[in-house]
Amino acid sequence: MTLKRWIILIALCLVLLITAFFIYFREIQSPHWAAIKDAKEQATKAADLTSIETVYHHIWSKESWIVTGVNQADEKVFVFMTGDKLPEIVKASDGISEQALKNSFKNEKPAAQIKRIQPGLLDDKKVWEVYYDNGQKPQHSLYDFYSFDTGTLVETYTLPAKTGP
């Protein structure tokens, strides 16, 4: 075979591999994308949302979806949805904001490194989940749950310390 044919063959193989990878990725992700789409549609219908900002998937004691958006009255709202209940709509002004919680958390635990803050449900109560590293040795990752309404600490879960080789 000539060099030109080898180059064409290698290029075709690369195109085939890349195409197969994207098809595989799409197949793996499509159930997740469909669930996000369903959550958006449910929230839009339940709360008359004009725009959607964020969709959170929270799994703790049960699976839930939380959609943030703006309703027709131009108010920011959170729509809490679990499979077995009707969607629950909460105005953002009725609870503590994510930024206020983050500022309060950083004042209480300045050494902590926040990995994620998201709304969720803990034992059917609306909460803010803060996932963070404690910044100490040995390093632990922790989950703090704060009341969605008041920002008071509800529960803390500590994960085991990281071990290395």
Determine the pLDDT at residue 56: 96
| Per-residue pLDDT tens digits for 137-165 | 778 889 999 999 999 999 999 888 765 55
Q: Choose one of 93, 117, 141: the last residue of a domain.
A: 93
Say how many domains are in the chain: 2
Structure-block tokens of residue 136: 């100490």
| Percent of the chain at pLDDT exceeding 70 | 98
* 18 and 81 in a common domain: yes
Determine the pLDDT at residue 165: 52
| Percent of the chain at pLDDT exceeding 90 | 81
Report the alpha-carbon distance of residue 102 to residue 30 in Å, rounded: 33
Q: Choose one of 77, 93, 109: the last residue of a domain.
A: 93
Q: What band does 84 get if pLDDT is binned at 50, 70 and 90? A: confident
- DSSP symbol at 155: E
Residue-number span of the structural domain to which 48 is assigned: 3-93
Is pLDDT of 82 > 60? Answer: yes
Is residue 12 in a domain?
yes
* 87 and 70 in a common domain: yes
Determine the pLDDT at residue 125: 93
The rounded mean pLDDT for the chain is 92
* 84 and 13 in a common domain: yes
Determine the pLDDT at residue 162: 65
Q: Choose one of 62, 93, 124: the last residue of a domain.
A: 93
| Per-residue pLDDT tens digits for 93-124 | 999 999 999 999 999 999 899 999 999 999 98
* 73 and 13 in a common domain: yes
Is residue 105 in a domain?
yes
* 62 and 102 in a common domain: no
